[in-house]
Amino acid sequence: MRAEIELTGTYQHTSAELAFGARIAWRNSARCIGRLYWQSLRVRDLRAVHRAADVADQCVEHLRLATNGGRIRPTITVFAPDAPGRPGPRIWNEQLIRYAGHRVDGGVLGDPRYAAFTDAVRTLGWTPPAEPGAFDVLPLVVSTPDDPAHLRTLPADAVLEVPLSHPDHPWFADLGLRWHAVPAISSMRLSIGGVDYPAAPFNGWYMGTEIGARNLADTDRYDMLPAVAAELGLDTTSTTSLWRDRALVELNVAVLHSFAKAGATISDHHTESERFLKHIAKEERAGRRCPADWSWIVPRSPAASPRSSTATTTPTTCARSSSPTRAARPPPSTAPHPSSPSAPLPAPDPLDPPEPHPNRQLTPGTTRRSRRREVHCGPKQDPATIPFP
């Protein structure tokens, strides 16, 4: 390896090392609650794919394979790494599937989070539907050193969408809501042993609250709580009526019910909290500490779900105190389950494609000589403690 670095400035992982590093990165991803099944991650080694059009085609194939007829399979597709003088491909989209935000009459039709990205892809040549809707799938944008911006429309057979209905309220279907079944993050950099893979789309499956309590409910996203509350006949004139809470529950019931009806994998936050505790227990039995960013791990209603006080913010640090767990709501996004949300993307410059966000990294650092591995995910920071109840 040292000779290879001396000669080329970098080195290549074997396929086995790549698969191991990707799985370990998921296992230690501090913001993900769904790590119990990290060993089941399917790793697609596509480092030989370089052309932007081919990268986009393989992203489409990733979605088909991950969808698996509704039985979502955790999958990561790893494209060429950055190398001295030759950067790897970039995927501009935050997730492979996202809905457009069309600017209309001073507002936004669709997802306001992606209004700027929608503007950008239109300047690159994307033509939205003749009659724009609230759930128009955005195209992929891939760039390489030889192709500054390649657009790829996602075919219908690669995007499984679930129309939302409610088991007790027939009117809910008339709201016209739906959501895609595969949350495939494409804005994270995978870094293994000092080798960076800037394009490595990765998916798990959704936790219901990611859709019902965030994407469809947040005021800067689809903001559906007022509409649901109105249909329920709730008093929205006072917060003490808890109308938002009651509407939120029904919205989440609809999401779980609809995914189950469609045969698409999803889980509720209570189940995932219990699974996370099992994951922590397994890690402790293996002699490892479990990193956890509790502002992401704790569900939207933390008092109703089990929590652990033994996970740590770094693989080597654990602290407890009488202070309450920080359970602030993360920035709005549909991070997959497992999730890794990110900040809204600015309108990209075709001549200056965006870098994968520096605060979103899956990083299994590998030292071959000692065979020691340390894994970090998320913002790089000094070891620190976080208070637990």
Q: Does 205 qualify as catalytic in the annotation?
A: yes
In the sheet with 75-78, reading across from the earlier edge strand, the strands are: 42-45, 75-78, 202-203, 184-185
Cα–Cα dist 362/191, whole Å: 6
pLDDT higher than 50, residue 64: yes
Q: Given the residues 26, 92, 205, 294, select the one marked as catalytic.
A: 205
How would residue 103 be classed by pLDDT, with cut points 50, 70 and 90?
Answer: very high
Q: Given the residues 94, 210, 250, 272, select the one marked as catalytic.
A: 210
**SS3 of residue 372 by DSSP:** strand
Nearest to 33, CA basis, from 179, 160, 210: 210
Q: Given the residues 31, 32, 94, 179, select the one marked as catalytic.
A: 32
- pLDDT score for 39: 85
In the sheet with 372-377, reading across from the earlier edge strand, the strands are: 195-197, 189-192, 361-367, 372-377
Residues of the chain with pLDDT > 90: what percent? 59
- pLDDT score for 106: 84
Structure tokens belonging to residue 274: 């219990």
Could you report the per-residue pLDDT of 192-214, keeping only the tens digit for each?
Answer: 989 999 999 999 999 999 999 99
What does pLDDT average to over the chain? 80
pLDDT higher than 80, residue 299: no
Cα–Cα dist 116/112, whole Å: 8
CA 339: distance to chain centroid?
4
**SS3 of residue 389 by DSSP:** coil
Nearest to 173, CA basis, from 69, 266, 100, 262: 262
Q: Does 210 qualify as catalytic in the annotation?
A: yes
- pLDDT score for 273: 86
Instruction: Please count the structural domains in the chain.
Output: 1
Cα–Cα dist 44/53, whole Å: 17
Range of the domain at 246: 16-82+159-377
Question: Which pTM does this prediction carry?
Answer: 0.78
Q: Does 32 qualify as catalytic in the annotation?
A: yes
pLDDT higher than 70, residue 170: yes
Q: Is 258 among the domain residues?
A: yes
Q: Is 236 among the domain residues?
A: yes
- pLDDT score for 353: 45
Q: Does 178 qualify as catalytic in the annotation?
A: no
DSSP codes, 321-335? -SSPP--PPPPS---
Could you report the per-residue pLDDT of 106-132, keeping only the tens digit for each?
Answer: 899 999 999 999 999 999 999 999 999
DSSP codes, 109-144? EE-GGGHHHHHHHHHTT----SS--TTPBPPEEEEE
How would residue 307 be classed by pLDDT, with cut points 50, 70 and 90?
Answer: low
pLDDT higher than 50, residue 322: no
Residue in this structure with the two tokens 């799985």, named with its chain if needed: 23
- pLDDT score for 123: 96
CA 329: distance to chain centroid?
16
Which residues pair with residue 365 across a beta bridge? 374
Q: Which residue has the higher pLDDT, 202 or 283?
A: 202
Q: Given the residues 23, 27, 31, 35, select the one marked as catalytic.
A: 35
How would residue 80 be classed by pLDDT, with cut points 50, 70 and 90?
Answer: very high
Q: Is 152 among the domain residues?
A: no
pLDDT higher than 70, residue 312: no
Q: Is 10 among the domain residues?
A: no
